[in-house]
Amino acid sequence: MNPRSIRVRLSLWYSGVLGLLLVTFSVATYLGLERYLTSVLRQSVISQAREVVPLFSHLDNKDEQREIVELRAHYAPEASNRFLRVRRDTGSVIYVSGVPKDQSFDPAEVPSAQPPLVEESTQDVFLSGGKRLLVHAIPFETRDGRRLIIEAGATYAQVDNVTSNVWMIFAFSLPLFMVVAVAGGYALTRRALRPIDEITRRAEQITSQNLSERLPAPKTNDEVERLSVALNRMIERLERAFESIHRFSADASHELRTPLTILRGELELVAQRRDLSPAIGETISSALEEIDRLTKITESLLVISRLDAGESGHESQEFNLAELARVTTEQMTFLASEKEIELCCDTPVSAQIHGNPLRIKQVLVNLLDNAIKYTPEKGKIKVAVAVANGCVTLEVADDGPGINTASLPHIFERFYRVDKARTRKFGGVGLGLSIAKSICVAHGGNIKVESAEGQGSRFSVHLPAAVTRSHSAKHQDGPDSHPAIHCQSNELSQTYPKK
Ligand code: ADP
């Protein structure tokens, strides 16, 4: 879990605020309830004390004992766990209730309110063992002028009982609420952010090859919809910019071809003249070489701009790559024989793929052309095709000079040449491999290179096998294998012994 993600931060904020609210609510409820129960208890002891006052206020000294008997029978404070005491203001006790039924306190322990007591008062009285009693005292005068004090009291046991129960309920339910709230909040934010995940996933799939695709824009009229719409507008602008770049490159390359052809023709005419001095003849032949290079560059740029515009899929068809490899290798044998290079081909009977055969042939020609160009005389070049796991692999391996480690990551970049002087000598312009890569990507495949300086190079092209496979391809794959759409592996790396 990433603690800095919106999901986690939102959940933490939400849970923090909710937790604070719940704790405040619980404390307020607890304090309110305690206050209310205490006030109910107070009202009850006050009214009990006030009920007893009239019994004594109209009596003479001689009737006291009769009234006490009445009091015991009528109120029975012990049965209701209450405390009741009648005493003279001199301190002598006329009546005190006995030990309550629940034995919660000892009435003998309850201290007297300190005289002079002139008006009613309520106070908390603390007894041994931390017990608390709420006692209400009423001083009054009897008919014969004696001053008596009635004290009625009750323990806080019931209040404490209820409040501690409520406290327990809060203590158990609060963490439970919090866990449910955090989990619920996390799930809710996850759900709320899911459209963004979907937008991100789809945005990741958009490349220069499929700029016509758009992101999903949920009709929610909120930030997610605005984000998606804004990104779609940006992709639209990019699509238009890419289109105009492609059109410009294609137009420029196309427009350059005609004047170059004319220039070449005219220079060739001049070169045929007999009255030319050797120096001018040499200049013309050097100019013709440069025109060749320029023509090669413009043609390559035209190919690249067409590929970037997604042209390769236009003439797509199912064909046998093994057959194409055999024929192309055959055709290139003449070029290899000039340097006495041994060129061999190892292919299965059939390796069906879907694509533009002319473009795939161009990949093989570019790879073979490089291999023949850079491999020294009497060298060896091997072409191989194999089918495995729904993937067709084409390899071109040579035992030429190889490519140094620093250059390897760049050789598929446009106009990249390892050794400019050497490449120029061979007529290379640094576009052959980038064209090969663009063709492979446009066919849903990829191209890789394994090389080390002085140890030759091996280029591997991986392409998805055609879904309807020929009998031979089935034979190679095995009866249970399924054709895959994307090729990522280097299945053919075992075809050659490791260099
Ligand atoms: P170029 O048209 O210059 O050959 P590429 O794009 O085909 O351009 O190749 C890029 C660079 O990769 C070349 O300049 C060359 O140095 C290197 N390279 C390509 N293929 C091979 C090979 N088979 N052996 C050695 N170096 C190679």
Question: How far, in Å, is the centroid of ligand 1 from the Cα of 376?
Answer: 14
Residue 156 has pLDDT above 50, yes or no: yes
User: Whose alpha carbon is nearest atom 2 of ligand 1?
Assistant: 428
pLDDT of residue 449 exceeding 60? yes
- What pLDDT score was predicted for residue 207? 84
| Tens digits of residue pLDDT in 62-83 | 667 777 777 777 777 888 889 9
Gap from CA of 370 to ligand 1 centroid (Å): 6
Mean pLDDT of the chain: 85
Q: What is the whole-number distance in angstroms between the Cα of residue 419 and the centre of ligand 1?
A: 9
Q: How confident is the model at residue 470 (pLDDT cuts 50, 70, 90)?
A: very low
pLDDT at 338: 92
Q: Relative to the CA of 412, which ligand 1 atom is closest?
A: 6
Q: What is the pLDDT of residue 493?
A: 34
pLDDT tens-place string over residues 345-391: 999 989 999 999 999 999 999 999 999 999 999 999 999 999 998 89
Angle at 154 between CA 90 and CA 124, to 5 degrees: 65
- List the Cα angle 260/266/268 in 5-degree steps: 100
Taking CA atoms only, the protein residue closest to ligand 1 atom 12 is 411
CA–centroid distance, residue 7 to ligand 1 (Å):
49
Per-residue pLDDT of 390-437, as tens digits, reads 899 999 999 999 999 999 999 999 988 887 766 666 767 889 999 999
Spell out the long-range contacts of 261-265 with Cβ–Cβ below 8 A and sequence spacing 24 or more. Answer: 261/295, 263/291, 264/288, 264/291, 264/292, 264/295
- Taking 80 as the threshold, does the pLDDT of residue 268 lie above it? yes
Which of these ranges, 55-69, 110-124, 228-242, has the smallest mean pLDDT?
Answer: 55-69
List the residue whose alpha carbon is closest to atom 21 of ligand 1: 370
pLDDT band, residue 468 (cuts 50/70/90): low
pLDDT at 435: 93
Nearest-atom index, ligand 1, CA of 456: 24
User: In the prediction, which pLDDT does 11 show?
Assistant: 84
Q: For the chain, what percent of residues have pLDDT higher than 90?
A: 49
> For residue 116, what pLDDT is reported?
63
Pocket of ligand 1 (CB under 6 A): 366, 370-371, 374, 398, 400-401, 403, 411, 416-419, 423, 428-434, 457
Output the CA 430–ligand 1 centroid distance in Å: 7
Question: pLDDT per residue over 16-40, tens digit each?
Answer: 899 999 999 999 999 999 999 999 9
Query: What does the pLDDT read at residue 487?
Result: 54
Pocket probe mutation, ligand 1, options 411, 416, 431, 447, max atoms within 8 Å of Cβ: 411
| pLDDT tens, residue by residue, 98-119 | 899 888 888 888 887 666 677 8
How much distance in Å is there from the Cα of 435 to the middle of ligand 1? 12
pTM above 0.95, yes or no: no
Which of 433, 447, 457 has the most ligand 1 atoms within 8 A of CB, as the residue to mutate? 433
